[in-house]
Structure formats: structure tokens, C-alpha cells
Structure 1
């Protein structure tokens, strides 16, 4: 933590926001004194690259803290006295026409604005030199480097926001400004944050598409990523809050915060903000596991947040085409590479070595399922809570009766509320969401090739594990496989009983009211299973 900027009474989460510490995208000022992880931990390779006068790109999903981390690093580099460093937002240039002159002027203005906000007067850039459109940025950077007594380091943020060929014009100028120039007449290090495609884009922009070409570009430009927080990182950030306020986090609360977010920085930030600012948690007691669960639910329900905007993006057909097979548990046909790249850039998925692509964390997994079930939830009729006892506790037998009656009356019609591949899952989860809204939670597990969706309904002391499967045309009877899958699910929940729901979608089957049947079975280890053929 930078000694000159750390003020122990400040909340730690502000430094995790993926926006400029001085200006957000609307130009509004933000607090400067917040906690954060040391930059050498978040950016372990960057110092070495700068020492070696390397240029590099940083490509990582949205909201992982690229801006925050590099803004802090720029401040540290300047304060240490060896470099003049700053971070420049290029979002303004992205609004310019798709031609070099507009992008040049916008970036020059952004560069000068960032210098005024981040650097002292003696380190400001000199007046702009005369140059032609398409070369003004190159000329200005070299003139500034010559005027300084220290090496110039510039981090250009959000470069991938540029439209069309404007980005290529910018990259060509940055290449001319840095590569092959003497150190005293050029920026020492230039870095692009958020550029997807890595150094290959620099090479293509410069007109060198042959990987065997004898040009130094690919050797001079490195590509790095920014990782999510580890469990220890999250614990350290929470401990900083404890040291500042005296309020500690129970170990189970820290573990759950990491489990829900998988260390995704914006989610870690948002959970922390809810826990210590917006929830009515008494500072005299520790933050508990139940507090984190409540914060997670509030985060998913909040409006006007990045999660809300992600939910809106999930309605796009390209994105739905990626996630609907995941929910159905099937293996999708070949998806366009650009669609997979899109969901990766949004940070919604991760690739686990040796396994299929999966949703990045439980909060995003829940967000995706809820969003794709919106139409099904909106189509539900009024459901009186007949599944509750007089004391407000959940009665599992009454819940079974309620669902059987609901499915018999409304199931056939509601199956048209979502795409056929996922409709049964969406209607079932919409029903259980309605149940959970009275005072419980519903957790979902799904993924490519799983052949099912697993659910866990928690309502007070009651825990109900469910495995949902679809009997598709041409497929074998899924009962035996489903019982084994339910066994695995219940074992993970340490539950002795659960439901296996089999949705029959074969052609020529009787209507719902005729085929609907309930039976009682046991799994291979003797766990009680209610089997519902729907």
C-alpha cells in the first residue's frame, strides 16, 4: 500500500473500483485515499518490463481492476523519482469519427487532461508540435519525452473501445513513437490496457502480418493478463477494514465472499460495500456468513449496477446462444469464435484446464439463470404459498403437492415462455424462485455436458436438493442416470433426501395431465428420492 496515499480510516473498497481514481467516465471526481493490494502483487511482471524498456498490452475481462491498478502504479513510479508516469483514458477518442484526425485530437486532449490531473507543473507536456493528421500523437509523445529529464511511461486505457480503423491509426503512431527510437527521444514504455488479441494487433496495425517477418515488433511488445483476487487477497482486504474500524469478519464470511465471487474484483468490492455501508450490520459484532449471503442476494436484485447492465446484455441472441446449452447441460454445436470472445471479454466465463468453459463465478451463474428465466417468471400465475405451515416453515410434502398441481394446470402452456432447449428448467426454477422469495434462497449448478441442472432450495432449516433432467427424443430413459446424479448432488449437500424431476419432451407423448406421475425411489446409498415424471 502506497505510504503517501494510505489513510487507515478510509474504506478499502474504493481502490477496487475499475475506474480512474481521479475521474470516472463522466468526469466526476472520486476519492483518492483508499486501501488496495500492493501493485507489485497485482502486477508482478510489469516492473520488470518497465525496467527493460518493454512495451506491453494488458488484456483481461471487464471489471477486474485494470484502471485502478495501473493508476496506482503510475503514481508510485512518478513518486519514486525515476520515471514520469500517467494513465490516459482513451474513451473520448472512441467517440470520434473513424478517421485518424479525430482520434488524434481526442487522444491528445485526453493526454493533456490526464497530465494536468496526475503530474506536477514541471512535468507537463510542451506545446503540441506541428504535425499532419495521423501523426500528431506520435509527434507529441516524442516531443514530451525529449523535454523531460526522466523516462516517460504512459498507460493507455480502454484502447479497444476505438472503432474500426481508428485503432490501427493509433497503434501505428504508438509504434513509431516508441520502437526503434533512442531512449532520450521517445517514451520509455507504452502500454495498452484492455486490448484484446495481444501483441498480434500491434503487428497487424503496423502492416506486419507475417509471423516470420524480420521485424522486432512481436519481440518488443509483450502481453500480460490481470488475475482475479485469491482467497488470501480477499482475506487481506477484509483485514484492512478490521484494522481500520475494529470490526472483524468471521472466517466463514470471508470464505463465502470468496466462493460467491471467485475473487472477481468488482464483485469483491460490491459485496464489501454492501456489508459495511448499506446492510444494517452492527459494528460491534463480526460480519457473519448470513450477512454475506444477504449481501449476495441484494447485489443480484440491485438496479443501475454493472450486474444490471450485464443482465441486459444477456438478452442478446449471440450471448443467449452461448449460455442456453450450458443451462440445458448439452454440448453446443460449434459457436462462432467472436461470440465466445464476447462472453469472455464480459468476464462471464472462464476456461478451466482440462474442462469445458464454465461460468466465471456463482454470482454470475445465478445472474445468467435468473435473466434467462425472466419470461418464465413473468408468465407465472398467482401462486398462494400453500407450501408453508402455519408457523411459516416450509413443508416439503405440501411443496410437492403444490408443484404437481401447478404443473398439471399450467406446465404445458408455460413451456412456450422460453426456448425449447431450456424451457422446462426455466419454468421449474421460476416456480422455485417464487417459493424462495418468501424467505429462502435458491442455488443453481449447471454447465456444458452435465446433462442436468442441480438446484438447492434453502428455507429456514429445510434444505431440498433437486436434480432436473430432460428426456429428449431418441434418448434412453434417464431414470437410472438421474438417480446417480441426484445421489452425487445430495452427497455434496449432506442431505438424506431430494427430488429427481424428469421432463419428458419426446414426440407423441400424452399431455401433461395424463403423464404426470410421482414415485418414491432410493439412490444407490439409500437416500430417499421423490421421482417426478413431468
Structure 2
């Protein structure tokens, strides 16, 4: 079978388009840490290429003739949770199997009963590694993947046995270097013991020399990856897609590969390799991927339920003024998960445009499914979306249902913005697109609706473009209105939209609905802007 874009599991160079994993890390730094007998951490968001990189590093070290390197994955021990005996048996099994199949060494199966009887669950892993190091002809490098999947006392036992082995050198033989790999840095492990204590990973594993972060693909690497498909098949990607691809993914490897797969395989018409991949084909593939709610995107939505994640993402969704109230540890944690990135000036933003689109969709999915609205009711005879009619309907819906519906959201502070987006998504889905921009310091959420006026031509034909600015009332109505009108007109200019609307949410519980609900038209530099109060 010819090579293809990989969306599941480690990269296999003979089967998948790929960037050499060894080029994605600073190998000089890693090899110097190994030479110095250090224990360290390599972490990166899910489906970034960690496992592929560890396996490539293992092969490189083994081929060097200077080390014995072994990769193990301990995720199977997650099910044991705080049961140390069960968890360590799973970890020992992973160690024994990997040594047998990757190094053709059956020592851990041979030592199993003796060492377990002598050392028990809380010492057997250290004892096994010590005996191996004593007998090995070369220094050993052990790479442990999915460490942060472990739970409670099982994780504490593993970390402490590794620490004891490190501290006991050189008097007691032990492995030369250990690389812990997972989504999070060890400092972010919050371990709940069976005695209801909370122990941080940093305290249980205070011999860590360094934490290395594995980054996403560069823009040049993204283009090089797609060029491999063109070289293999002759199929051409139109050059204008790459600017969009970069903004949508910022090089997140799974997203880059998933879009490549969507473009070249899931779009069955593109299996004819003489078909060029155009910008509109790309945009359609992007929308299909977002709407599919694949495993990767479902994992992202699951993380949104965590309190630490909510504390960072919610202010961004509601357009908070600044990040002064954010907990720095929570910001680092959410950054480690790959959901946000920080600019050099400290500004925080959602990592890429697809995540920016997916997050509010996921948070409002239940509401979107529960809203009963008929798309056809909001279309004119010319197949335009009748935005005043739609906003009037939402205004009445919001007035009647806000209190009960907003209680359904985990992100209550951003509830009005999410509820309007759920309402719009219910109408626009299946015909048009909604693009979103939001973040700390923006003081608003920008929405761009794109609606094709000809069903047959779709986005290749004439498109209705509508801008909506969502703002919370602050500093009084005149100041909020003046700021909002300028922002709305500016965003419309940026998007080339002819229709523009400003929606102002008043969250003051002491203000009556009669005062909150209103609508009017305002002008800003010869532009007419519809304004709705809610």
C-alpha cells in the first residue's frame, strides 16, 4: 500500500508521510543529558509525536553501540489506580514484554517470582532495573511513556522507586538515564494517595534534571509533509491553502495529518490524483473534520471539564480585560495540554484556529441539540439569512430562557456568548460556516457568518458575509456602545462583510428585562450597524 497521512498511533516511515522525529528534538541536548546520567522529562500534548520520537531515539541509541535503550508504555497500569500491587504488576509486565520483544532479553520474566517475593510491589521495579544494570554490557537508557496516565499510589510508587535507584548510584547499580514521557510535566502531577493526601510529582520525583517540551511542526515542515504526498502521487495542493492550514493548526501534528487525510482520502473525489486540492476543498475538509468530533477533538472537550482548564479558558470566551486573575500554575498546565499558547510578551491565546472553533462548539453542543429552530424560517426568498429576524428570535428566546439555560453550562460566566453561538450554529449548520475570534484582552467575541446564496455553487458562488460582535456591558452603555461600534466596523472591514451587528449582554441582575432588551440602528463612519441589547 502507498504511503498516507497518519492519524492513529506511532509513525512508520515506510507507511506514512512523516517528518523525521529525530529532527524535531534538540538531539545534542538530549544526548548530553543521557551522557551526564540524568533523569529528565519529555512532555507534549496528545498526538504530537511523542511515541514516534521516543522510538526513534531508542533506535538511534541502540545503533550507536554505546547504550542499551528500551522503550516501555505503562498506560495499562492506569486501571489499577491506587492498587500498587496490581499497578506494579502491569508495569513489570510492560517492562518484561518490551525487553523480550525489542531486545530479545527474557531476564524480567526469569526474575519475576524471585524479585517479587523478595521486594514486593514497592521495591520490585527498582530491584529489577538494578539487577539488569549489574549484568548489562552497556549503560541502560529507559524511556517510560504515558507515565502521567497512572493514578494515585501506583504513580507514587513508580516515581519513588526510580528516585531511590538514582540516589543509590554509584554504590548500587542502576540505569544510566530515565526519560519520563507524557502530556504533562511532572510538576503538574497531582497525586491523591489512598490516605487522601495530595502529593505533587515534583516532590515524589525531585531528581529531575530538566523538562523538555516537544513542539509542533514548523510551517516549513507542514509544507514539506504535504509535498511528500505530491511527490508520491502527483496530486497538487494549491499554494493558497498553506496560509489557512497554518492558522488552523499552528503545526499541531495530528490536525495537520487529519486534514491531509480528509483532503486526499475522505473526500472520495480527490482519490483521483489528477484532482487539484483547492482552497475551497480545503475549507470544506476543515469543516467536516470539526463537525466529525473525532477522538482527538473529543479528548480536547473532555479536558474542558477540568476546573483548572475552565479557570483559564472561560475568561477568554467571555472576553475578559486581562489575565491578572489567572493562576500561573493553571496557565502552565493548560499550555502543557496544548490548548493555549503564550506569546513572548506573555499574551495568551487559543493554540490554533481549529481549537478556537471547537471549544465553543463542544461547550454548547448539548444546548445546540436541544434548541428547536427551523433553518428555513430564517431564509428570505433570495436565500439570504434574515439576520434581524434571527436576532429578534434569539432575543426573545434569551429573555424567556436565559436563567434556566445558562445553568446548564459549566462555563456560566461565558454562558450568554455560548448560548448565542449554539443558537446560531443550529441555524447555520448544514449550509454555512461560523468563524470565531476571542481571547483575553479583546473585550468581545467576533463572529463571522458565511452563507452561500446558491446551493449548487456553494462557496464557489456568491456568499453572504455577516459580522457579529458580542460584548458584555461595562463602563456604562455609552462607552460600551462607542467601543463596540468601532470594533464591529473594524472587524467587518477585515472580513469584507457588508452586514454587521453588535450584541450587548447586560449581566446586572438588578436591571429589569424591559431595560435590558432593546434594539436600534447606529452609524459608524457611514456604516449602518444593527445593535441588540439583551
Q: Which residue of 1 aligns with 2:4?
A: 11
Which segment drifts farther, 273-282 or 468-477? 468-477
Q: Does 1:444 align with 2:432?
A: no
SS of the equivalent of 1:263 reads coil
Given the alignment of the two structures, is residue 197 of structure 1 paired with residue 186 of structure 2, yes or no?
yes
- 1:275-323: CA deviations, max 9, x gaps? 2221222421222222222222222222451212332443456644443
5 Å matches for 1:295-334? 295-303=285-293, 305-315=295-305, 319-331=309-321, 334=325
What are the Cα deviations for residues 126-165 of structure 1, in whole angstroms up to 9, with x where unaligned? Answer: 7326341222212222322333333322110111222223
Mapped partners of 1:126, 1:109: distance in 2: 8
CA deviations over 1:171-201 (Å, ceiling 9, x no partner) = 2322343456359943232110025235997
Q: 2:25 aligns with which of 34, 38, 43?
A: 43
Distance 1:485 1:203 in 2: 45
**Residue 421 of structure 1 aligns to a residue in which SS?**
helix
2:465 to 458, 463, 466: 463
Deviation, structure 1 residue 507: 5.1
Q: Distance in 2 between matches of 1:411 and 1:532?
A: 12
CA contact (8 A) 1:57 1:198 kept: no
- Which residue in 1 is equivalent to 2:47? 63
Q: What's the CA shift for 1:80?
A: 4.2
Judged with a 3 Å threshold, the aligned counterparts in structure 2 of structure 1 residues 162 and 434 are, in CA distance, closer, same or farther, namely closer
- Contact map agreement 1:89 1:110 (CA 8 A) in 2: yes
Contact 1:159 1:192 in 2 (8 A): yes
Please report how far the alpha carbon of residue 492 of structure 1 lies from its aligned counterpart in structure 2 after TM superposition: 2.4
> Are the counterparts in 2 of residues 56 and 222 from structure 1 also a CA contact under 8 Å?
yes
8 Å CA contact 2:186–2:201 kept in 1: the answer is no
Change (3 A) 1:377 1:168: closer
- 1:474-513 matched pairs, under 5 angstroms: 477-495=479-497, 497-506=499-508, 509=511, 511=513
Distance 1:438 1:192 in 2: 45
**Residue 229 in structure 1 maps to residue 220 in structure 2:** no
Task: Provide, for residues 418-476 of structure 1, a one-character-per-residue CA deviation record: whole Å limited to 9, x for no partner.
Answer: 25633432333223223322421101111123211101111122222221112258665
1:302/1:308 contact within 8 Å kept? no
* 8 Å contact from structure 2 (residues 71, 143) kept in 1: yes
Gaps in structure 2 of 5+ consecutive residues: 190-199, 453-462
Query: In structure 2, which of residues 71, 76, 86 is the aligned counterpart of residue 92 of structure 1?
Result: 76
CA distance in 1, matches of 2:188, 2:135: 29
The answer for the alignment partner of 1:348 in structure 2 is: 339
Alignment partners' CA distance in 2, 1:49 and 1:32: 30
Does the Cα contact within 8 Å between 1:56 and 1:199 map onto a contact in 2?
no
Q: CA deviation at 1:386?
A: 4.2
Residue range with higher mean Cα deviation, 50-59 or 244-253: 50-59
CA contact (8 A) 1:87 1:156 kept: yes
Other-structure match for 1:132: 119
Give the distance between the partners of 1:243 and 1:329, measured in 2 at CA: 44
Equivalent residue of 1:107, what SS? helix
Query: TM-score under structure 2 normalisation?
Result: 0.82
1:17-69, Cα deviation, whole Å (9 max, x unpaired): 4x456xxxxxxxx9974332223321113233334443211133333221221
Change in Cα spacing, 1:177 to 1:391, as seen in structure 2 (3 Å) is: same
Matched, 1:265 2:258: no
Q: Deviations over 1:389-416 (max 9, x none)?
A: 4454x25xx3223422x13542302323
User: SS of the counterpart of 1:365?
Assistant: helix
Cα 1:290–1:118 change in 2 (3 A) is: farther
Within 5 Å, give how 1:278-293 maps onto structure 2.
278-280=266-268, 281=270, 282-293=272-283
SS of 1:484's partner is helix
CA distance in 2 between partners of 1:162 and 1:109 (Å): 15
Indicate which of 242, 257, 265 corresponds to 1:254: 242
Aligned residue for 2:47, secondary structure, equals coil
1:411 aligned partner: 398
Q: Are the counterparts in 2 of residues 61 and 346 from structure 1 also a CA contact under 8 Å?
A: yes
Aligned residues: 498
Would you say the 8 A contact 2:43–2:212 is kept in 1? yes
CA 179–491 in structure 1, closer or farther in 2 if over 3 Å, else same: farther
- Written as runs of structure 1 = structure 2, the 5 A alignment for 1:104-183 is 104-119=88-103, 121=104, 127-128=110-111, 130=115, 131-133=118-120, 134-178=122-166, 181=169
Question: Does the Cα contact within 8 Å between 1:198 and 1:223 map onto a contact in 2?
Answer: no
Q: Give the C-alpha shift of residue 496 in structure 1.
A: 5.1
Q: Kindly indicate whether residue 358 of structure 2 is the aligned counterpart of residue 367 of structure 1.
A: yes
Q: Per the alignment, do residues 363 and 303 of structure 1 end up closer, same or farther by CA in structure 2, a change over 3 Å counting?
A: closer
* Residues 431, 477 of structure 1: alpha-carbon distance in 2 compared, 3 angstrom cutoff: same
Task: Return closer, same or farther for 1:336/1:232 CA change in 2, 3 Å cut-off.
Answer: same
The alpha-carbon deviation at position 103 of structure 1 amounts to 3.7
Contact 2:147/2:181 (CA < 8 Å) preserved in 1? yes
- Taking the aligned partners of 1:409 and 1:199, their CA distance within structure 2 comes to 45
Cα 1:32–1:512 shift into 2, 3 Å: farther
1:211 counterpart residue number = none
Give the alignment partner of residue 231 of structure 2, picking from 240, 243, 254: 243
- CA-atom RMSD in angstroms: 3.3
8 Å Cα contact 2:316-2:440 kept in structure 1: yes
CA–CA distance in structure 2, aligned partners of residues 205 and 528 of structure 1: 62
- Give the Å deviation of 1:366: 1.4
Q: In the alignment, is the contact (CA less than 8 A) between 1:99 and 1:166 conserved in 2?
A: yes
Indicate if the aligned counterparts of 2:61 and 2:67 stay in contact, CA closer than 8 A.
Answer: yes
Shift of 1:343: 3.5
